[in-house]
A = this chain, B = another copy of it.
Amino acid sequence: MLDGEYSKERDQIRNLMQNSSTFDELFLYGPLDVDAHREQTLRAVKELIALKTVHLRDMVDNPKKFLMWFETISYCDPSVALKFAVQYNLWGGTILLLGTKKHHDRYLQDISDGKLLGVFGLTELGHGSNVNGLETTATFDLASKSFIINSPTWTSQKYWPGNISKHGKLATIFARLILGGVDKGVHAFVVPIRSEPTVLYPYGEVLEGVTIRDISYKSSYNGIDNGGLLFKNVKIPLENMLDRFSSVDENGKYHSEIPSNRHFGAMMSVFFIGRVCLSLLSLCSMKVGVAIALSYAYNRLQFGPPKQAEQPIINYTTTQRRLIPSIARAYAYDFAHKAISEPLGRAQDVLHSYSSGIKAFTSWDSVAALQLAREVAGGQGIRLHTRIGMLREHSDLVVTGEGDNTVLCQQVAKFLLAQYHKAMQSGSFSGELAYVNNLTGTTPSQVPIDLLSLSYQQLLLEHREYILVKELYQKIYGNNKTLATNSLEFYNKFNENLTLTIKVAKANVDRLVQGFFLDRIIKLTNTDPTTLTLLKNLCRLDSLVQIQKELGFYFNYNLLSSQKLYIQIDDTITQLCKDITPYSKHLTSAFAIPNKFHPLLNSIE
């Protein structure tokens, strides 16, 4: 049900991972040796590439296939997926998306084949979330017709990028372009950092003017050679500027198709797919961890009715409540990720908002689901061998990577705020908020409470998003409907209400995810009734759990009001979990996890 169009390719990948010992997770069994882990990770990436299931160009030509691929390789130690992301999405992606034909001809095939390993050098020690503020410089030198790359301060060192401390030969370095003493803002350049390989240095020697540091031990992803990178007067030729959006000619004349205040945003927006990839990685971790805990819960007997045999802990309602909603959530997010990667010609700002919000809540929910899964597995959940703890660590990285969740929620809220503002000015709702037009006269308090109705739930979710956006609008534009978004007042008001931006983003994602789930259900015409009911129950459960999380909102805004609803909603969730539990193993078997990555399948240790 979840494999989708590419089940053959997925099987190929899963078979490789199941059968090649390169994919054994060495951190489970032996001392965590960073060097060995890094080399094994690289080997694994190369074995995957050798399958030739996907090409770097699929990022643009066939994003759905590209995403399928990424999701499937996320089953194993996700250092592999991240290493792949560094090589394809980031290093390859900059060449593909910010470069032009000359760069494509020169680099793309070797990158796609895994022969030319590279670095995506965006983040600096001093600038992570606010990369637009980075400090590295690329100064045009008229005499030599070249750029000179420098790291003017300690904080300007490139910091974090994978492939820095060991494997990378070239790097795309984001730096401030300095032209005739004028700072033209951030642009991207290809900068060699290591020589051709030699016997002594299989990945080449670090070039002159380049200094490299090793970041070393992390709580996860130790297969990635993250590092720090400093430049001192490193000269690169003119053609190494990635010049899709803007260029410098031999005489030092600057040309750009995009106004300077939108230049950085345009460069960054091309990385939409990278965010979806990382989001899929955390979704995959969630699926696997929850499936492992479910196996334990079925195998583990503990306590039982008076004078009777012990019973499996899956029978306890708290166990069901800790696992079944996560399964529902995993299905909901699975459909949502597929939906946003459909080639529907959505505008860039819509895609940016969707991918930001969905990535934020997928990763947060994944971490939370894995915490519950680990608790269900008791002491076994602590063993590396059981994988759940590591999976949580893996997902955790996604929370602040490829855009920090808190910052991304602000962007979702800003997007919706702009839509609302437009509606206030034009007098009608359109775009993302078009649904508001259908809300009048249908406040949930006017229709009978029906907690299990998909459309009733939809109404609750829509009203919440709408009201919260309105509240945010009031807080910010309440006294001044024409407040400029780049004013100090806007900045201050926005920052005073940051927790509200998170609530807004959450409401938006809840509505979107439920909407995509409903679309999916509607499209399932040939499905047997049992499966259809099951899917509907998953959708109901997932929405009701999200509604319960914001119950205070619903009561306070009179969208729900009825005595004992607090208990009743909780009981309804418990009942839904109970109804779904008998199907839970089927549901997780659709995750199609290679056995190698599914410990406790038939045992309690």
A residues whose Cβ falls under 8 Å from a Cβ of B: 27-29, 31-34, 123, 125-130, 133, 155, 159-160, 215-221, 301-303, 305-306, 310, 315-318, 321, 367, 371, 374-375, 378-379, 381-385, 389-390, 393, 396-397, 399-401, 404-406, 471, 486-488, 491-492, 495-500, 502, 548, 551-557, 563-567, 570, 574, 604-605
Q: Name the contact of A384 in the complex, choosing from B126, B219, B318 (C-beta under 8 A).
A: B219
Check B133 against A29 for contact (C-beta < 8 Å). no
The interface centre, meaning the residue of A219, A385, A406, A497 with most chain B CB atoms within 10 A of its CB, is A219
Kindly state the separation between the CA atoms of A381 and B405 in the bound complex, as whole angstroms: 14
Check A375 against B393 for contact (C-beta < 8 Å). no
**Which residues from chain B contact A497 at a C-beta distance below 8 Å?**
317
Q: Name the contact of A305 in the complex, choosing from B491, B502, B551, B564 (C-beta under 8 A).
A: B491
Kindly state the separation between the CA atoms of A399 and B371 in the bound complex, as whole angstroms: 10
Check B566 against A218 for contact (C-beta < 8 Å). no
With A31-B33, A125-B604 as contacts: A382 and B499 at CB distance below 8 Å: no
CB distance from A365 to the nearest CB of B (A): 13
Check B375 against A400 for contact (C-beta < 8 Å). yes
Check A393 against B385 for contact (C-beta < 8 Å). no
Kindly state the separation between the CA atoms of A27 and B32 in the bound complex, as whole angstroms: 9
Check A385 against B499 for contact (C-beta < 8 Å). no
**Which residues from chain B contact A564 at a C-beta distance below 8 Å?**
556
CB distance from A114 to the nearest CB of B (A): 25
Check A379 against B557 for contact (C-beta < 8 Å). no
Check A217 against B385 for contact (C-beta < 8 Å). yes
Check B28 against A487 for contact (C-beta < 8 Å). no
Check A220 against B382 for contact (C-beta < 8 Å). yes
Which residue from chain B places its CB closest to the CB of A385 in the assembled complex?
B217
- Can you report 13 residue pairs joining A to B where beta carbons are below 8 Å apart? A31-B33, A31-B34, A126-B604, A128-B378, A217-B385, A219-B382, A374-B396, A375-B405, A381-B400, A499-B570, A548-B552, A556-B564, A556-B565
The 9 closest A-B CB pairs, nearest first, are A551-B552, A555-B555, A219-B389, A556-B566, A217-B384, A32-B32, A318-B498, A31-B31, A130-B303
